[in-house]
Amino acid sequence: MPTDAPSNLPPVLRPDAPPIHTLEDFAARFAVGTRGDVAGRTLSGITLATADLRPGDVFVAVQGVNRHGAEFAATAAEKGAVAIVTDAAGADLAAASGLPVVLVDDPRGLLGELSAWVYSTGRDDELPILFGTTGTNGKTSVSHLLEGILGQLDLVTGLSSTAERHIAGHVIVSRLTTPEAYEMHALLALMRERGVEAVAVEVSAQALSRRRVDGIVFDVAGFTNLTHDHLDDYADMREYFEAKLPLFRPDRARRAVVCVDTASGAEVVARSEVETVTVGTPDLAEDRDAAAAADWVVEILDERPDGTRFRLSGPDDRSLTTVVPVIGQHMAANAGLAIVMILEGGYAWKRLVDALDGERIDAYLPGRTELVSGERGPAVYIDFGHSPDAFEKTLAAVRRVTPGKVLMLFGADGDRDATKRHDMGRTAVVGSDILFITDHHPRHEDPDSIRATLHEGALRARPDADIREFSPPERAILEAVALVGEGDAILWAGPGHQDYRDIRGVRTPYSARELARRALRGAGWPVPEPHWPVPYPDDETPASDPLRPIFPTP
């Protein structure tokens, strides 16, 4: 793999005062051999990328697709590395750096274990409670809901999600859904240093397949669902499902909470190797009876534009009623899963009732059915959903709280799973009154071709539908807002919280939330103050900002 992280990614987060270990102890524990003198050296960090390397690190050099990381050993030495960790193939390449070489059989496979040891203080009682959530849709929402509820229990919290990293109230933009193993262990060490008591981590299938969470045992693992996605990484849905299962083994988690609203949830329960509790939402489950028979049941009580009220009921006649601060039955299901995960993490039921019963969950879910419009005019929701299942659930949620027409605006990722594009078009057109197709992250694909495939899928499902196509998305949202009024709604799916578009490998500054807000204001509708970072005040937008040509400052 490349050894230099892209310069436009946020930095790796590390503890301010990491544990100090001797290189001799490190080699004695992990090496199958050494070259050079490992005596008298200490280490304080570990990295797979020279761009992230700090003095005192060991540099782990692995074989990439095109090059071996050991080719960068000299760069690592110049930046202060104390040793190179590599395999036999990389040892000769690393020799010229002058650094000692710690030989291991599988540096990539050992990275999690190596990183856990490097950042360990040797005291397990200092570790926060760890919650890990996997599934196709809902991982980010559950993670943010976990953090919000834990905060209502007056705990110091941490978060690692697709959208953001949080450390005791400090917010940092995320690099990957789940960081590389060395990043993850450094992040947890920093959280421990800052007094974090409980951490919510979003765990992707890729993180499990690529061993990014190796060396971590979650106190509670959660499962949301499995739907069509990521077939660019996995051969088929069976392989994708199998990639999720390792999270439910004793070496990865101590307990599990599984949503059984889909057949995949029932299979996770059947194959889980740890003690497992189930949660079901009969109102949206594939098998209503199976969901109703779950250990914990989510009952939808009311849906409004500002949230969804539900009751969670379980063993020993326990129940509480609360509101998740976003629309959608699926969001109530996510919140129910989060509450039961916290209960299984050892927190008392009474404590949860005192914090939540009759109250709203105090959580902000960036880009998850996020309402960016004001009290008057059309409702505009920005959502990160980019799969057919996510479209179906979110459109249904918007429909239930919208008295007027529903307009859907979306695009698709380039260089990602293309097999779902027809289904994305189909689901989008079936659930909306007007469909707008635009661009998202074209990456290195032709955006015209991506839109054409989406359009084709929509037309097959509804040949008579009102389908419109606009590029770029800056124009699409202007056209969309011009077609709606009081009582109508726009769901813009795909970009969510992201603040860039990937165009031929370049991260172009971009905010769907801000574009929608400016389009509404330009149409004469009041807009609230943004909850998200805005790069520039409206009166200071530089000429280089791609929003300026579309939205001139009044």
Distance (Å, rounded) from C-alpha 127 to C-alpha 217? 11
Residue 194 lies in a domain: yes
Question: Mapping DSSP to helix (H, G, I), strand (E, B) and coil, where does residue 532 land?
Answer: coil
Measure the CA dihedral 212/217/221/226, to 10°. 30
Is pLDDT at 24 greater than 80 in this prediction? yes
Count of the separate structural domains present in the chain:
3
**Residues 34 and 52 grouped into a single domain:** yes
**Residues 195 and 321 grouped into a single domain:** yes
Average pLDDT (456-470) is: 97
Residue 538 lies in a domain: no
Distance (Å, rounded) from C-alpha 192 to C-alpha 195? 5
Question: Mapping DSSP to helix (H, G, I), strand (E, B) and coil, where does residue 370 land?
Answer: strand
Distance (Å, rounded) from C-alpha 442 to C-alpha 453? 13
Q: Pick the last residue of a domain from 118, 136, 158.
A: 118
Is pLDDT at 177 greater than 80 in this prediction? no
Residue 266 lies in a domain: yes
**Residues 293 and 266 grouped into a single domain:** yes
Question: Which pLDDT score is estimated for 121?
Answer: 84
Question: Which pLDDT score is estimated for 465?
Answer: 97
**Residues 180 and 298 grouped into a single domain:** yes
Residue 363 lies in a domain: no
Question: Mapping DSSP to helix (H, G, I), strand (E, B) and coil, where does residue 530 land?
Answer: coil
User: Which class for 323: exposed (0-12), middle (13-18), buried (19 or more C-beta within 10 A)?
Assistant: buried
pLDDT band of 539, cuts 50, 70, 90 = very low
Q: What is the CATH number of the domain that holds 384?
A: 3.90.190.20
Mean pLDDT of the chain: 90
Is pLDDT at 534 greater than 70 in this prediction? no
The end-to-end CA distance of the chain, in Å, is 48
Q: When comparing pLDDT for 361 and 441, which is higher?
A: 361
This prediction's pTM: 0.84
Residue 15 lies in a domain: no
**Residues 180 and 138 grouped into a single domain:** yes
Integer angstrom CA distances of residue 474 from 87, 197, 284, 415, 433: 49, 42, 34, 22, 21
**Residues 147 and 275 grouped into a single domain:** yes
The amino acid occupying position 167 is I
- Asked whether the CA dihedral 491, 495, 496, 501 is positive or negative, the reply is negative
Question: Which pLDDT score is estimated for 500?
Answer: 82
> Prior bond to 472 cis, omega within 30?
yes
Residue 542 lies in a domain: no
Question: Which pLDDT score is estimated for 290?
Answer: 95
**Residues 352 and 400 grouped into a single domain:** no
Question: Which pLDDT score is estimated for 525?
Answer: 97
Question: Which pLDDT score is estimated for 59?
Answer: 98
Least confident interval from 40-54, 353-367, 373-387, 534-548? 534-548
Q: Tell me which residue of 44, 75, 80, 40 sits closest to 61, measured CA to CA.
A: 75
Whether the CB-CB separation of 361 and 148 falls below 8 Å is answered with yes
Average pLDDT (197-202) is: 97
Distance (Å, rounded) from C-alpha 198 to C-alpha 95? 43
29-39 confidence digits (pLDDT tens): 999 999 999 99
- How large is the greatest C-alpha to C-alpha distance in the chain, in angstroms? 76
Q: How many other C-beta atoms can be found within 10 angstroms of the C-beta atom of residue 54? A: 14
Whether the CB-CB separation of 135 and 227 falls below 8 Å is answered with no
pLDDT band of 196, cuts 50, 70, 90 = very high
Which residue blocks in 357-487 are alpha helix, DSSP H? Answer: 388-400, 421-430, 447-461, 473-482
Question: Which pLDDT score is estimated for 172?
Answer: 80
**Residues 130 and 110 grouped into a single domain:** no
Q: Pick the last residue of a domain from 356, 390, 422.
A: 356
Q: Which two tokens stand for residue 190?
A: 């920093």
Q: How many other C-beta atoms can be found within 10 angstroms of the C-beta atom of residue 341? A: 28
**DSSP collapsed to 3 states, 165-214:** EEECCEEEECCCCCCCHHHHHHHHHHHHHCCCCEEEEECCHHHHHCCCCC
Question: Which pLDDT score is estimated for 342?
Answer: 98
Distance (Å, rounded) from C-alpha 425 to C-alpha 435? 9
Integer angstrom CA distances of residue 519 from 127, 273, 473, 527, 550: 47, 51, 12, 10, 9
**Residues 109 and 202 grouped into a single domain:** no
Q: Pick the last residue of a domain from 325, 356, 387.
A: 356
Distance (Å, rounded) from C-alpha 347 to C-alpha 341? 9
Whether the CB-CB separation of 192 and 127 falls below 8 Å is answered with yes
Residue 476 lies in a domain: yes
**Residues 86 and 177 grouped into a single domain:** no
Question: Which pLDDT score is estimated for 471?
Answer: 94
Domain that holds residue 278: 124-356
Provide, rounded to the nearest whole percent, the portion of the chain with pLDDT above 70. 91
60-91 confidence digits (pLDDT tens): 999 988 999 999 999 999 999 999 999 999 99
Is pLDDT at 410 greater than 80 in this prediction? yes
Question: Mapping DSSP to helix (H, G, I), strand (E, B) and coil, where does residue 289 land?
Answer: helix
Average pLDDT (372-378) is: 94
Q: What is the CATH number of the domain that holds 324?
A: 3.40.1190.10
247-303 confidence digits (pLDDT tens): 999 999 999 999 999 999 999 999 999 999 999 999 999 999 999 999 999 999 999
Question: Which pLDDT score is estimated for 218?
Answer: 97
**Residues 239 and 137 grouped into a single domain:** yes
**Residues 139 and 274 grouped into a single domain:** yes
Question: Which pLDDT score is estimated for 10?
Answer: 58
What is the rounded radius of gyration, in angstroms, for the C-alpha atoms of the chain? 24
Q: What is the CATH number of the domain that holds 108?
A: 3.40.1390.10
Distance (Å, rounded) from C-alpha 116 to C-alpha 156? 22
Distance (Å, rounded) from C-alpha 352 to C-alpha 350? 5
**Bridge partners, residue 418, by sequence:** none
Distance (Å, rounded) from C-alpha 40 to C-alpha 34? 14
Q: Chain centroid to CA 44: how far?
A: 28
Element (H, E) at 158: strand 157-160
pLDDT band of 240, cuts 50, 70, 90 = confident
Distance (Å, rounded) from C-alpha 271 to C-alpha 250? 12
Residue 82 lies in a domain: yes
Residues contacting residue 533 through CB under 8 Å, at least 6 positions apart: 499
